[in-house]
Amino acid sequence: MSDQLFSWYSTDAPGQRFNADAKDRSTLVTYFAARHQQHERLALNSLDVTFTSDRAGGFVFRLTRSADDGLPPTRYGGKGEVQCAIRPISLAVWSMARRPWSLLELLPEALALVVLVAAIGTILLWRRRSAQRRVHVVT
């Protein structure tokens, strides 16, 4: 990362970086080493480019973040910017925060659950009626 083009790297706890800390590039290597010690993992789920120019590119992302210091796999959303005007190309902005589930995202899972419950209910009802028919035929 270039000192001249770096703006910030921010996230919530654990490993919180806000305000002046987020903008202090000189502490990033130490910060990343500490997060590595906690086995922090960022698993990218989606990435969308929001703008590009000959100087920079912006993006938004969704990821799953986890670490040994009290962070189970958790959904995060964020944004960033890459500076392309200098070589090597460098990350100038990274900002991420927890992202709660939205109802629209849960809709497919909820629908699948409803279909599964309906299928199980249908099977149980069919088996019960089949057993009742057998009892009536025998008597």
DSSP 106-137: HHHHHHHHHHHHHHHHHHHHHHHHHHHHHHHH
Look at residue 44 in the predicted model and tell me its pLDDT: 95
Range 38-49 average pLDDT: 95
Question: What pTM was estimated for this model as a whole?
Answer: 0.67
Look at residue 37 in the predicted model and tell me its pLDDT: 97
Q: How many residues are there in the chain?
A: 139
- Dihedrals phi, psi of 115, to nearest 5 degrees: -65, -40
Confidence band for 2, pLDDT divided at 50, 70 and 90 = very low
Q: Kindly give the pairing relationship between strand 8-10 and strand 41-52.
A: unpaired
Look at residue 1 in the predicted model and tell me its pLDDT: 42
